[in-house]
Structure 1
Amino acid sequence: MNYRIGIVRGDGIGPEVVGAALGVLEAVGARFGHAFAKEELLAGGCAIDASGEPLPEETVARAKACDAVLLGAVGGPKWDTLPSHLRPEKALLGLRSALRVYANLRPAVLLAPLREACPLKDEIVGSGFDILIVRELTGGIYFGKSGRTEDGQAAFDTEFYTRKEIERILRVGYEAARKRRLRLCLVDKANILESSRLWREVNARISAEYPDVETSAMYVDNCAMQLVRAPGQFDVIVTSNMFGDILSDEASMLTGSIGMLPSASIGEPGAPGKPTMGLYEPIHGSAPDIAGKDIANPLGTILSVAMMLRYSFNLNKEAEAVEQAVARVLEAGWRTADIALHKVESTTRIVGTKEMGRLVAKEVQRSRI
């Protein structure tokens, strides 16, 4: 099969981790007989430097013509003093909106080889955890009305959701729960926020359509505490844009490093036999302090490629091959610095970004799936 993928390398460590992930993607193509055409796109700080804006119209048009988009990271202190509408982060929000990807899927799984990197005690972690955070991505406070008063002495950001936005993200969560362990937790702040009370109201109706899924609700502050106290209690968490942004970063540290976590942002399913548009990226930032040093962890980006294979192209076998390759590399003791700092054993071998990507690609080529 032939697929066209938009490549946004971005800023900081983005080009490095994307480069490693593309090597793995090439290995998938060679092993399973697929062709992946790559469309290089500019977005973020590098686009500001080149064109004066974080998301050029040309980038949007070319991205829409692709089957999926892979993104590294955007932003950095170089552009921090720019006005808000010219900040690199606007590229992310613009791409998500333009591509109509409203559901962000962020898995947080504690892999057995990284147990020593988890900061929680053994009695808390138990046999491990496997959480899927489903974050609404194109609504809420990040897209609501914002501004400052005329005298500049006050500022505001508005949390705004429609029933339609809430309903469609809840359905993504419930469908995911049906493929997992049949548990869904709605996370909100319904004791304070009117928008959260609307989430609960819509969920009461939608949950009735999924009687096989055990449904619960939890305030966001309690959820933040429960993720540390007993992460194994969660299966699927569905929440708003801002809450999902924060909670998924917290969950990432329970897995050993924010560099380990992939994400998939998907929209409406494609026609039968056609790809589903998705934006795939690791959840970490651009980390400009380590850019160019070949020490960034590319596994979050590599696992984002696995999610792209699964959710956009329906290549489940290929996605599994990538995931298993990552697991085998970790089981063999290979680590980037961020997942080796907690406890370095005699069997641990620390490698850089490029070598980690090469090791995973090699394992993909050996796959017997």
Structure 2
Amino acid sequence: MSREYKIAVLPGDGVGPEVVEQAIKVLEVVAEQEQVTFNYSYARLGGSAIDEDGTPLPEATLEVAKNADAVLLGAVGGPKWDQNPSHLRPETGLLGIRKALGLYANLRPAVMVECMASASSLKEEVVAGVDMMVVRELTGGIYFGEKKRFQDENGRDAAIDTLLYNEDEVERIARKAFEIARKRNNKLVSVDKANVLESSRLWRSVMERVAKEYPDVELSHMLVDSCAMQLVRAPKQFDVIVTENMFGDILSDEAAMLTGSIGMLASASLSDGHLGLYEPVHGSAPDIAGKGVANPIATILSAALMLRYSLNLDAAAGRIENAVESVLNQGIRTGDIAEDKAAAVGTVEMTQHIINALKK
């Protein structure tokens, strides 16, 4: 009897629907190879939901996501909604679904495919061999703390954003990071700003306490400004990095660009259960939406992460990753990563090359 999996599909905005469509083509090949069935339920999130439902996160979308085995997301946002009040911004929907589903751990792999080293803005000898995982706490910190606009005692406009963590929030992301480090090279760097921030001092003390349960993992600490510098100076020193929400937001994008294109990188947002949300790191890129030139690789690799972390189809995930690398090794490129732009392939053509490699 064929195994069945329920996948919530949130195409989103901009290029999101285009790249999600290509990822599903790849998943259908996997379904045939693995003799499984993927049942897709589509729902709106972000700008498209604001336009159609009057909210960036409709209740119907949450229900679809909660009843799924995994969630595949395209991208949200765009200048069309930039002037909206905060409760009607696409990003509010993304933050909301992360919170509602308990997706507290964001995994951002940054892997340099050997043939792509020349695409990085750094020297090839600096980035060749980079293979790291950034683990970002996703539902606490300054993004979710109290926010307030007011006038101070001198009548000037002022604002407050509160950075709040409790020990349980830090402990659960610490355990997730230690477990991931165990599956890699047993090296974990915890990034904070403990020389200035009380929240970082709490973070560091909890990391030290949890580390006693993982004596096989080498834990070190690094201040966030130093980490930002080391990522461009000597990135190969890192294996797994764990950090709080805002620092992780910034550092994971920096790590992504080491590999040459943010359009190639996947991410996973995980809860304590099997449910996860999988999305490309790149944004909605409204300037190229509908032109058929978006790079689908990040979304296809996000689908591979979904197979690995939510559906326990590790072998299939590996085959997708190998197929992507095989295509890149053949010199096939979309415009964002092509040195010869005239020879670049489009979204659909790149996907077909990956499918052909997957079927071999």
Partners of 2:245 and 2:36 lie apart in 1 by 35
Does the CA-based 8 Å contact 1:136-1:240 persist in structure 2? Answer: yes
CA displacement at 1:49 relative to structure 2: 0.5
Aligned partner (choices 114, 117, 139) of residue 116 of structure 2: 114
Does the CA-based 8 Å contact 1:333-1:349 persist in structure 2? Answer: no
Partner of 2:82: 80
Does the CA-based 8 Å contact 1:28-1:365 persist in structure 2? Answer: no
Equivalent residue of 1:8, what SS?
strand
Partners of 1:344 and 1:42 lie apart in 2 by 37
Specify every segment of 5 or more residues in structure 1 that has no aligned partner in the other structure, as ranges.
270-275
Equivalent residue of 2:157, what SS?
coil
Partner of 1:183: 187
CA displacement at 1:123 relative to structure 2: 3.3
Partners of 2:136 and 2:275 lie apart in 1 by 17
Assess, with a 3 A threshold, how the Cα gap between structure 1 residues 152 and 329 changes in structure 2: closer, same or farther.
farther
Partners of 2:129 and 2:118 lie apart in 1 by 12
Equivalent residue of 2:107, what SS?
strand
Partners of 1:321 and 1:196 lie apart in 2 by 40
| Residue deviations 1:155-185 (CA, integer Å, cap 9, x gap) | 1111110100000001111001111011000
- The answer on 1:208 being equivalent to 2:212 is yes
Equivalent residue of 2:325, what SS?
helix
Aligned partner (choices 325, 350, 357) of residue 323 of structure 2: 325
Assess, with a 3 A threshold, how the Cα gap between structure 1 residues 44 and 214 changes in structure 2: closer, same or farther.
same
Partners of 2:235 and 2:286 lie apart in 1 by 31
Aligned amino acid, residue 101 of structure 1: L
> How much is the aligned-residue C-alpha RMSD, in angstroms?
1.3
Counting aligned pairs with the same residue, the percent is 59
Partner of 1:137: 138
Aligned partner (choices 217, 221, 224) of residue 217 of structure 1: 221
Aligned amino acid, residue 23 of structure 2: A
> TM-score under structure 2 normalisation?
0.96
Aligned amino acid, residue 77 of structure 1: P
Does the CA-based 8 Å contact 2:4-2:38 persist in structure 1? Answer: yes
Partner of 1:361: 355
CA displacement at 1:122 relative to structure 2: 2.9
Partners of 1:22 and 1:357 lie apart in 2 by 10
CA displacement at 1:227 relative to structure 2: 0.5
Partners of 2:37 and 2:124 lie apart in 1 by 44
Partner of 1:344: 340
Aligned amino acid, residue 54 of structure 2: G
| Residue deviations 1:268-295 (CA, integer Å, cap 9, x gap) | 13xxxxxx10000011111111111111
Partner of 2:235: 231
Equivalent residue of 2:280, what SS?
coil
Partner of 1:14: 16
Instruction: Give the 4+ runs in structure 1 shifted more than 3 A.
Output: none
Partner of 1:273: none
Partners of 2:148 and 2:19 lie apart in 1 by 35
Specify every segment of 5 or more residues in structure 2 that has no aligned partner in the other structure, as ranges.
none
| Residue deviations 1:1-36 (CA, integer Å, cap 9, x gap) | 110100000001101111111111111111221110
Partner of 2:103: 101
Partner of 2:167: 163
Aligned amino acid, residue 146 of structure 1: K
Aligned amino acid, residue 340 of structure 2: V
Partner of 2:196: 192
Does the CA-based 8 Å contact 2:326-2:357 persist in structure 1? Answer: yes
CA displacement at 1:359 relative to structure 2: 1.4
- The answer on 1:56 being equivalent to 2:58 is yes
Equivalent residue of 2:282, what SS?
coil
Partner of 1:297: 295
Partners of 1:34 and 1:223 lie apart in 2 by 43
Aligned amino acid, residue 74 of structure 1: V
> TM-score under structure 1 normalisation?
0.94
Partner of 2:245: 241
Aligned amino acid, residue 65 of structure 1: N
Does the CA-based 8 Å contact 2:118-2:124 persist in structure 1? Answer: no
Aligned partner (choices 231, 246, 258) of residue 262 of structure 2: 258
Partners of 1:296 and 1:260 lie apart in 2 by 10
CA displacement at 1:249 relative to structure 2: 0.6
Partners of 2:330 and 2:14 lie apart in 1 by 29
Does the CA-based 8 Å contact 1:309-1:319 persist in structure 2? Answer: yes
Aligned amino acid, residue 295 of structure 2: N
Equivalent residue of 1:82, what SS?
coil
Partner of 1:279: 277
CA displacement at 1:120 relative to structure 2: 1.3
| Residue deviations 1:186-208 (CA, integer Å, cap 9, x gap) | 00111111100100110111111
